[in-house]
Structure 1
């Protein structure tokens, strides 16, 4: 027997992976035992015969809707136990009310509190709900006016806001492409670094907005955890897509085009968050704030169009691809304005902002790899540094208009 044959004879065959019913049972056993322990604790109180002296109740007033002589509150029980709404007070006056489907709301259940009240347009109102345990929950209506409904006129109005905020400035930034195409290698690297700086600033700003919104998310939905899930999951998914594209062996021009689309996607999700903020401001009557945000975002977002085209300055992208980039980067602002105007939700806002931040940071990672490849051919470290700093300062200055 040869040495090769002997080694083959002594090498054990690789073990095959088998998932049998026995394996499933062994995996399930600890979970069953855990459920039993929890049930035992809940039934016996763990041996501690104590009762809470104060009822633990938590009611989140998610939004309000006003019609003529009518106020409706959308509420959710975010406490550990069911609760019952027993009384409603509007501006220190006890008012009759109806709760649909029932005054007793189970945990995580949703209900609508309908109040007949002859409110006056432009006035402020304070609404207080009392549970059967006399626990109060308040909501302030800063400016009373009929809540916008999803009709054709209002829908078109929010669409125009999204166009002004997202689509138009993004396309104006893309219009710089012919002028920038003739720049030299150093200037192209500088613009790539500017793009990285722009996106870094947007990413940090988006994270900050997400944390602000997380403070309004009911504790049971764990706003901070949602931020982590959204950022990490989006980053990893886009990174996986990017690596798959590299494995396909596409040429450098195709990779740069893909990067431009990824930048547009990251900016688009960020603009979705901007649309949410503007739509929410209009929906509660803060018209001046909404207009202020629109003007500020218009000025800021023209720089985002520049960031989208930076990777493809040395290429000849088709008009179709440029149009798609503009729509991917700008059109989500329209969707955001619709959602923020008609269905405002802090939880949804936090999730969208987190997804946007994850997408932005992943794109910055891809841009940094492209800059490193260019640096390997011709070191220009000062150019890269100054570009990143310029991009961040540019958005900081424009941010002075909207903060």
Structure 2
């Protein structure tokens, strides 16, 4: 060993000079931006026409009235000057103002005696004569929040999420009798189920991202929500692993993480069903309910797979089912009463990140369980079985 002492570099204390040097580039950047905005940067170019964009976020029909909730997604203020209904100019009341600031929201109300089942085409003209259309394929009364409607949507969420997940948990006593290889097989099935759910949720999020207002950057929102959720749950998992918890406690934590991931996915399903009913697609909504009931019974199987060796107790089983299934109720409420493309995409993105992080945790558990006795064919067949299960049941929905 050398007797020469290693000199450590002293840590310099932060002072006023350091703070100024840190902020200087940002201050200079702000000055450059302010100069460009105030002078135009010396450019002598003028736009031949204003760049305007208006998105219709929701259409509300009540007896004798039509309301459009719109958002200004253009780079500057926008003024709605005229509303046309089926080629006829119609007076409209716009609140809070006909001039909508950037990213601002307004409600356009028309006193109009529409007929049930008829189609209507509404065109909103700005003061620069730029048109924006909103179509009503089938006119019907938009569901409004009430005790009965909340109860109806809650019942749909119960059928879609809570009931099938709990039915899947009923397999717990029978599956406890299986041997070690079958336990690994079930874990692999769970991973396959979740991979399919994750891909399905990601595809749905990217599809809905196209309906998000351009400034909200739908695809970017998907990336932020999914990646942030993945690493947040991973950090929580690593912190729990470092607390010296027993194997049974870790498996129970994994079961709860699976339930959370499935719950977030069911939230997205609830949003889809609620939106279908909100748009008057009652037949489609009922079709989705039946399909999701059949598909989601496999989710209960996925939740209990990590804890088949343990005795978690009825309280934990009940809570696991609630965490996995109850978000579907919240989803139907949001989709039915306050549909929002941006919020829907964010929820789907969060669900995607959660599901894939849980797959990662299951993969680590499978690797640990098979470290002494590798079972590559068992893992492969289980993974493929899980994927095929949801693909086949998905035929009832798509």
TM range (shorter): over 0.9
Partners in 2 of 1:89 and 1:329 — Cα distance? 46
Where does 1:62-81 land on structure 2 (aligned, <5 Å)? Answer: 62-81=57-76
Unaligned runs of 5+ residues in structure 1 are none
* Corresponding residue of 2:107: 112
Deviations 1:3-40 (A, max 9, x none): 75xx34xx434423533222222121111111111122
Partners in 2 of 1:69 and 1:194 — Cα distance? 54
- Secondary structure of 1:40 counterpart: helix
Q: Is 1:30 matched with 2:45?
A: no
Deviations 1:294-341 (A, max 9, x none): 011000100000000000111111100000000000000000000000
Partners in 2 of 1:19 and 1:296 — Cα distance? 61
Deviations 1:30-88 (A, max 9, x none): 11111111122222222221111121000111101111110111111110011110110
* Corresponding residue of 2:275: 280
Partners in 1 of 2:245 and 2:111 — Cα distance? 65
Partners in 1 of 2:389 and 2:149 — Cα distance? 34
Aligned partner (choices 129, 133, 137) of residue 124 of structure 2: 129
1:195 Cα shift? 0.2
Q: Is 1:358 matched with 2:353?
A: yes
Partners in 1 of 2:12 and 2:393 — Cα distance? 58
TM-score (structure 2 length as normaliser): 0.98
* Corresponding residue of 2:151: 156
Partners in 2 of 1:359 and 1:17 — Cα distance? 41
Change (3 A) 1:396 1:97: same
Partners in 1 of 2:66 and 2:19 — Cα distance? 54
* Corresponding residue of 1:315: 310
* Corresponding residue of 1:204: 199
Point out the more displaced range, 371-380 or 262-271.
371-380
Partners in 1 of 2:58 and 2:227 — Cα distance? 29
* Corresponding residue of 1:292: 287
Partners in 2 of 1:21 and 1:150 — Cα distance? 56
* Corresponding residue of 1:147: 142
- Secondary structure of 1:249 counterpart: coil
Partners in 1 of 2:228 and 2:9 — Cα distance? 34
* Corresponding residue of 1:187: 182
Deviations 1:80-129 (A, max 9, x none): 01111011011111100011011111111111111111001111111110
Aligned partner (choices 48, 57, 61) of residue 53 of structure 1: 48
Change (3 A) 1:334 1:15: same
* Corresponding residue of 1:342: 337
Partners in 1 of 2:384 and 2:166 — Cα distance? 24
Partners in 1 of 2:17 and 2:109 — Cα distance? 55
Partners in 2 of 1:17 and 1:296 — Cα distance? 64
* Corresponding residue of 1:398: 393
- Secondary structure of 2:371 counterpart: helix
Aligned partner (choices 15, 21, 29) of residue 16 of structure 2: 21
Partners in 2 of 1:13 and 1:232 — Cα distance? 38
TM-score (structure 1 length as normaliser): 0.97
Partners in 2 of 1:91 and 1:348 — Cα distance? 31
Q: CA RMSD in A?
A: 1.2
- Secondary structure of 1:65 counterpart: strand
Partners in 2 of 1:19 and 1:275 — Cα distance? 52
Partners in 2 of 1:118 and 1:27 — Cα distance? 63
Partners in 2 of 1:145 and 1:35 — Cα distance? 51
